[in-house]
């Protein structure tokens, strides 16, 4: 087996025992990138030079931390000091932040080796990475299909062996959906568990940074590194971060699992439904108590998400006006014109639509009917979860309605029906490889109560160890 095919945990152990050098590990990944990247296009920026410096640093005097010396990718909406952070948008094509996002800083402190910035849907708004200003990212399992989005580059690169793990962001499913399509593990932590400082805002009350990894153990390792209180984020939780590795055991007898009937919607592909049912049976085999349950307000999650996310985004995207940084229309003679033209050219249609929608739902005359109403229904959706978690340890559902689709074959609105509720309620959720349909991965979603990442990892690990989906990798002709 080549080095790039191993896991974070395995590489970490080998580095700790000085069996291999970080530079070797990086070379393996670098070679892999040169083999497959032109077909996948997972990166927006490669930083192999500085990665080599970091790897050499580790080899010379690095502290063993579990992530030290291991190559990773960072989604391009996480600010990286001195390295372009574009959000895959023309608006920020040349933007170089003088600061690191806190999550990035934590990885750097842990000795991580950043290989590059990962492609994404523009400003994280999309479900396919098709709206990237640069190029779409293709699914390593089938290059004619999308990688999913918005953290498509992160998921594809992890699946293809270009990086060992990556940091993505999830606002309505942006980590979990591409993880599902690419057959990898993707976790959205509890809102407030990981600092949002330096994550370019999509929707303030829903955004979270999270890991994309090949297996659950790797996910726990990354979670250990990035979670925790940050005084630079007013919505950061002070709760202590446990050692997530401690939750990785296979005995889940008696665990109470609910599957909400409302998630088995009409649009759900029959094959995917069957794969999920099979997964539920597996959980029963493992000794869990599996029951159908109900989250009655699930069907309202989609419009609630669209209204609130677009409202928040219309405000947080206003800072992109060409004045202090970013794309600017140099020819404009007057300032309102300059701003309007800069934003017209700097933003793609997906971003514009959400800003316009958000502007509308916050306007005089629309605020009560849309925004305020959506906020109220949001509470009902959260209450559904609170009630469910009084009875169940976790909830299980499909992550996506289908396997990875071909570009244009799916309206994106259908894609995140199953993932947005967790963002609205602020609860943690994880997608793990849950099955295969026609040689394409199917994601299994687990959702837990606030700060129950440990429970999710435990249930995820047990399932993973009892199946082999996580061991399957896409075959890429080189």
Site for another protein in 417-476 (CB under 8 A): 425-426
Q: How far apart are the first and last CA of the chain?
A: 16
Q: How far is the CB of 80 from another protein (least distance, A)?
A: 10
Choice among 89, 131, 174, 298 that is catalytic: 174
* Residue 378 within binding range of another protein, rule CB under 8 A: yes
How far does Cα 187 stand from its chain's mean position?
A: 7
Handedness of CA 59, 61, 65, 68 (dihedral sign): negative
| Interface of this chain with another protein, residues 82 to 111, rule: CB under 8 A | 85, 87, 92, 94-99, 101
Handedness of CA 32, 38, 40, 44 (dihedral sign): positive
Reduced to 3 states, what is the DSSP secondary structure of residue 271?
A: helix
| CA distances from residue 345 to 87, 349, 438 in whole angstroms, order as listed | 15, 10, 41
Q: How far is the CB of 30 from another protein (least distance, A)?
A: 28
Angle CA 455–151–115, to nearest 5: 100
Backbone angles phi, psi at 209, to 5 degrees: -90, 140
Residues in the chain: 478
Out of 72, 78, 120, 422, the only residue in the binding site for another protein (CB under 8 A) is 78
Choice among 28, 150, 180, 195 that is catalytic: 150
Backbone angles phi, psi at 33, to 5 degrees: -60, -45
Region from 5-13, 17-25, 273-281, 370-378 binding another protein, contact rule CB under 8 A: 370-378
Let me know: does 466 contact 207? Beta carbons within 8 Å: no
The smaller minimum CB distance to another protein, of residues 93 and 269, is found at 93
Q: d(Cα 118, Cα 104) in Å, to the nearest integer?
A: 13
* Residue 387 within binding range of another protein, rule CB under 8 A: no
Find out whether the peptide bond into 169 is cis, omega within 30 degrees of 0. Answer: no
| Interface of this chain with another protein, residues 226 to 245, rule: CB under 8 A | 231-235, 237
* Residue 114 within binding range of another protein, rule CB under 8 A: no
DSSP label at residue 298: G
Region from 159-167, 179-187, 320-328, 463-471 binding another protein, contact rule CB under 8 A: 320-328
* Residue 362 within binding range of another protein, rule CB under 8 A: yes
Out of 141, 164, 191, 385, the only residue in the binding site for another protein (CB under 8 A) is 191
* Residue 267 within binding range of another protein, rule CB under 8 A: no
| Interface of this chain with another protein, residues 338 to 357, rule: CB under 8 A | 338-341, 343-344, 347, 349, 352-353, 355-357
Backbone angles phi, psi at 425, to 5 degrees: -90, -10
Region from 13-21, 68-76, 195-203, 272-280 binding another protein, contact rule CB under 8 A: 195-203
| Interface of this chain with another protein, residues 43 to 62, rule: CB under 8 A | none
The smaller minimum CB distance to another protein, of residues 19 and 94, is found at 94
Q: d(Cα 264, Cα 419) in Å, to the nearest integer?
A: 13
Q: d(Cα 92, Cα 78) in Å, to the nearest integer?
A: 12
278 catalytic? Reply is no
Nearest to 442 by CA among 293, 268, 208: 268
Q: How far is the CB of 202 from another protein (least distance, A)?
A: 11
* Residue 294 within binding range of another protein, rule CB under 8 A: no
150 catalytic? Reply is yes
* Residue 214 within binding range of another protein, rule CB under 8 A: no
Q: How far is the CB of 135 from another protein (least distance, A)?
A: 22
174 catalytic? Reply is yes
Q: d(Cα 347, Cα 329) in Å, to the nearest integer?
A: 12
Q: How far is the CB of 370 from another protein (least distance, A)?
A: 7
Region from 133-141, 142-150, 324-332, 436-444 binding another protein, contact rule CB under 8 A: 324-332
Catalytic residue list: 75, 150, 174
């Amino acid at each position: 087996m080549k080095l790039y095919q191993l896991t974070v945990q395995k590489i970490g152990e080998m580095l700790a025992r000085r069996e291999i050098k970080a530079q070797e590990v990086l070379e393996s990944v670098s070679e892999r990138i040169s083999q497959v990247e032109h077909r996948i296009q997972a990166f927006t920026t490669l930083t192999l030079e500085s990665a080599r410096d970091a790897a050499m640093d580790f080899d010379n005097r690095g502290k063993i931390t579990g992530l030290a010396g291991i190559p990773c990718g960072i989604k391009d909406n996480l600010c990286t000091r001195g390295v372009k952070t574009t959000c895959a948008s023309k608006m920020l094509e040349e933007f170089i932040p003088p600061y690191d996002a806190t999550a990035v800083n934590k990885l750097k402190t842990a000795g991580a080796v950043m290989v590059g910035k990962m492609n994404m849907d523009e400003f994280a708004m999309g479900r396919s990475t098709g709206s990237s200003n640069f190029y779409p990212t293709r699914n390593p399992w089938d290059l004619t299909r999308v990688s999913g989005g918005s953290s498509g580059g992160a998921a594809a690169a992890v699946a293809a062996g270009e990086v060992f793990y990556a940091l993505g962001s999830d606002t309505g499913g942006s980590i979990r959906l591409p993880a599902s399509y690419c057959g990898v593990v993707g976790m959205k932590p509890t809102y407030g568990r990981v600092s949002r400082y330096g994550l370019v805002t999509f929707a303030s009350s829903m955004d979270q940074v999270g890991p994309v990894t090949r297996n659950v153990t790797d996910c726990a390792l990354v979670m250990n590194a990035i979670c925790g209180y940050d005084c630079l984020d007013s919505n950061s939780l002070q709760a202590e971060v446990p050692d997530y590795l401690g939750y990785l055991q296979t005995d889940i007898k008696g665990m109470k699992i609910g599957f909400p009937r409302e998630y088995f919607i009409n649009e759900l592909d029959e094959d995917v439904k069957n794969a999920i049912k099979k997964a539920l049976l597996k959980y029963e085999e493992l000794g869990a108590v599996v029951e159908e349950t109900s989250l009655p307000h699930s069907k309202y999650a989609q419009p609630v998400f669209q209204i609130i996310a677009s409202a928040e985004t219309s405000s947080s995207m206003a800072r992109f006006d060409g004045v202090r940084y970013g794309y600017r229309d140099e020819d404009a003679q007057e300032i309102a014109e300059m701003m309007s033209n800069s934003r017209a050219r700097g933003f793609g249609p997906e971003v514009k639509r959400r800003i316009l929608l958000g502007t509308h739902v916050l306007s005089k005359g629309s605020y009560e009917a849309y925004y305020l109403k959506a906020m109220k229904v949001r509470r009902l959706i959260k209450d559904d979860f609170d009630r469910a978690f009084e009875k169940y340890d976790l909830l299980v559902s499909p992550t996506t309605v289908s396997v990875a689709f071909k570009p244009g074959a799916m309206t994106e609105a259908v894609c995140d029906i199953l993932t947005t509720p967790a963002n609205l309620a602020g609860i943690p959720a994880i997608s793990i490889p849950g099955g295969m349909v026609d040689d394409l991965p199917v994601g299994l979603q687990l959702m837990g109560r606030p700060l129950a990442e440990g429970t999710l990892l435990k249930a995820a690990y047990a399932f993973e160890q009892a199946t082999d989906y996580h061991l399957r990798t896409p075959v890429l002709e080189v």
